[in-house]
């Protein structure tokens, strides 16, 4: 999901409610032992973006390297979240790097096999997507979520998130199920994007030979 610098006042009390310092430290250690490489982000029309990703069963070096590459790819693209399918790996792994209101620090998190267990509220907000360049629109999603996932070592984790973090996580989990933000729009809103979407599809037809 693309970066947004705007926060509503109520976001101040939302965000990461678990202590994720350990995970951040772990990522730093990982980054020191492996030189991550940016990967190509697939764009609309590429068939992989519509694939339902497979659960991760092996928590190995390949998974940690993929996560490190995804963090780098997301940061270089000025994104706030990235799903594995966007870099052509159809496994249930996502990364987020969400800025915090009134803070320089971002919440950085890698989530494997994420499942949304509970939701609350409803919030409409403008979304964009690294895989659908130049298009944005308002999407309504739950404002708060309870998420179960595994970290990069396979340890079970629970996270309660609100505001932008909750939104980005939902956007990325959609990707893992082959769902894009434009699927949430009304047919009328989507029709307005038709020309641009067709353009993106044409570019991919050349790349994939479809």
**So which residues are the catalytic ones?**
172
Segment 119 to 158, residues that bind Zn ion, using CB under 5 A? 129
Contact 64, 30 (CB under 8 A): yes
DSSP letters, 71-83, are HHHHHHTTBSEEE
Choice between 82 and 147, CB closer to Zn ion: 82
Residue 93 lies near Zn ion (rule: CB under 5 A): no
Name which of 4, 107, 93 is nearest 57 in CA terms: 93
d(CA 188, CA 149): 35
Number of residues near Zn ion (by CB under 5 A): 2
Give burial (CB, 10 Å; 0-12/13-18/19+) of 123. Answer: middle
Minimum distance between the CB of residue 128 and Zn ion, rounded to whole angstroms?
Answer: 8
Minimum distance between the CB of residue 69 and Zn ion, rounded to whole angstroms?
Answer: 17
Minimum distance between the CB of residue 127 and Zn ion, rounded to whole angstroms?
Answer: 8
Paired with 53 in beta bridges are none
Residue 41 lies near Zn ion (rule: CB under 5 A): no
Residue 173 lies near Zn ion (rule: CB under 5 A): no
Choice between 30 and 174, CB closer to Zn ion: 174
Residues that bind Zn ion (CB under 5 A): 1, 129
């Amino acid at each position: 999901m693309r970066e947004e610098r705007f926060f509503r006042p109520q976001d101040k009390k939302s965000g990461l409610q678990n202590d994720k310092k350990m995970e951040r430290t772990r990522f730093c250690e990982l980054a020191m032992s492996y030189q991550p490489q940016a990967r190509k982000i697939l764009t609309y029309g590429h068939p992989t973006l519509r694939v339902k990703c497979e659960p991760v069963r092996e928590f190995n070096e390949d998974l940690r390297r993929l996560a490190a590459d995804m963090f780098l790819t997301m940061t270089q693209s000025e994104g706030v979240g990235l799903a594995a399918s966007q870099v052509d790996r159809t496994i249930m792994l996502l990364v987020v790097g969400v800025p915090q209101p009134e803070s320089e620090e971002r919440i950085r998190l890698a989530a494997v096999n994420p499942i949304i267990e509970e939701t609350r509220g409803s919030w409409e907000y403008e979304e964009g997507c690294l895989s659908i360049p130049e298009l944005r629109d308002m999407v309504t999603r739950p404002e708060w979520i309870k998420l179960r996932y595994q970290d990069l070592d396979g340890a079970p984790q629970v996270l309660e998130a609100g505001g932008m973090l909750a939104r980005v996580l939902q956007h990325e989990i959609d990707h893992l199920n082959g769902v894009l933000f434009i699927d949430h729009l009304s047919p009328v809103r989507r029709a307005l994007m038709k020309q641009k979407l067709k353009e993106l599809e044409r570019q991919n037809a050349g790349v994939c030979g479809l």
